[in-house]
Amino acid sequence: MRTITRKLSARDAIARSYPGWDKALADRMIAWLDYCGYTIIEKDQPHGDATLVPAPQRAADRMERTH
């Protein structure tokens, strides 16, 4: 059995959560998010800030904070 995958744009992904796939409302939501300082990043594009792993710290930095 072959699975058909469909890739949705950010606009379509937001629109599908509203009745009738309201793309006008999705456009307003994206504009509001942009106004608030958020950025929509496509899944295939790597983003440097999108990590849950903290950056490694130098041992000297850790020692300075503890004293």
Residue-wise pLDDT tens digits, 44-53: 656 566 555 5
Q: What is the pLDDT of residue 18?
A: 87
Question: Which alpha helices (DSSP H) does 8-55 contain, by range?
Answer: 10-15, 23-35
pTM: 0.54
Q: What is the pLDDT of residue 7?
A: 81
For residue 46, what are its two tokens? 């790597």
Residue-wise pLDDT tens digits, 6-40: 788 889 989 998 888 899 999 999 999 999 988 88
Q: Burial-class residue 14 by CB neighbours within 10 Å (0-12, 13-18, 19+).
A: buried
Residue that is written with structure tokens 């041992």 in the block = 59
Q: What is the pLDDT of residue 35?
A: 92
